[in-house]
Amino acid sequence: MDPHLSSRSTVEVAATAAPSAAPLLAAAWAVFRKDVRSELRTRYALNAVLLFAVSTVVAMSLGMGPLTVSRNADLPLIQAALLWVAILFAAFTGLARAFVHEEEARTAAALRLSARPTAVFLGKLLFNLALLLLLVAVTTGLFVIMLRVQVGNPGLLAALLLAGSLGLVAATTLIAAIIARASVKGALFAVLSFPVLAPLLVVAIQGSANALAGRGWESGVGALQVLAGYTIALFTASLFLFNSVWEP
């Protein structure tokens, strides 16, 4: 695609023309840029998510700080579980925001008129992915420093965190769209997301434990394959199902 076309003109195209006129990816990119811009104006999700992550890590380090590998052989597994729990719950606080905000500000109808459902979904997915990757980077960095975690295989850990984030976003974006229409939004998001995320968590925690313990790449390939399959399956299902959710 021509980069000149995609950068400036698409916002106007998406806003003024009929929904089907703009190419899909350009429209999705426009939705993503709109969300980033409105997020940077209020920084609501950013503040909430990052502060939640920081408090969680600090709270854990208050109790876990003195633990060392010599005192506990299962430490990598414990640390991997705690890291993913921190990421998971911080994600629960922020990832629903993209859709909930549209309903609360009563802008969903305008968005329905200006972009195709698939473009809206892809744009929101991209926004959630950007938010989550930032969150994962901050949480993991703080976690490693404050809990004095020894990362045996940093490359594998980074790959697992990336694959896990992709799966998490693929699973929760559709659920965020569902709960935006319900009456109790915050609690429902976690309730609906957790059972769907359970396979991802099992695999990601065990893979991350192997990475922290310093085992080689062959110990994490299985986990990466499962995470990739999970992401593809849920992403495809979301594309099929989103039209039904996005109906007025």
Partner 1 sequence: MSDRLRLEQAAKLLLGVWMAGIIVAMFLVVPQYVGLGDAGRIIILHVPTAWITTVAFAVSAVYSIRYLWKRRVADDAGAVASAEVGFLFCTLATVSGMWFANIVWGTPWNWDPRETTILILLLIYAAYFALRSALDDAERRRRLSAVYNLFAAVTMPFLLFVAPRMAESTLHPNCAFIQGSHCDGIWLELNGTRVGQLGDVVLALQGVEQRGDLVVAQVEVRMPGLREVALLEPSFELASGKPADRPEFPGQQFLLAVEGVDLANGRVLLNMEAPGTGLLSNSRTFWTFMAANIGFLGLFIWLYRLRADVLLLQERLAQREVAYGLPA
Nearest distance from C-beta of residue 168 to partner 1, angstroms: 13
Burial class (CB in 10 A: 0-12, 13-18, 19+), 57: buried
Residue 137 CB-half CA count within 13 A: 6
Residues 198-237 touching partner 1, rule: CB under 8 A, are 198-200, 202-203, 206, 209-210, 222-223, 226, 229-230, 233-234, 237
Among 191, 216, 221, 228, binds partner 1 (CB under 8 A): 191
Region at 124 (left for phi over 0; alpha for psi -120 to 50; beta for the rest) = alpha
Residue 217 DSSP code: G
Which has the closest alpha carbon to 93: 144, 51, 123? 51
State the Cα–Cα distance between residues 118 and 112, nearest whole angstrom: 11
Binding flag, residue 112, partner 1 (CB under 8 A)? no
Binding mask 135-174 for partner 1 (x = CB under 8 A): ------------------------------------x--x
Per CB under 8 A, residues contacting partner 1 are 77, 171, 174-175, 178-179, 181-184, 188, 191-192, 194-196, 198-200, 202-203, 206, 209-210, 222-223, 226, 229-230, 233-234, 237-238, 241, 244-245, 247
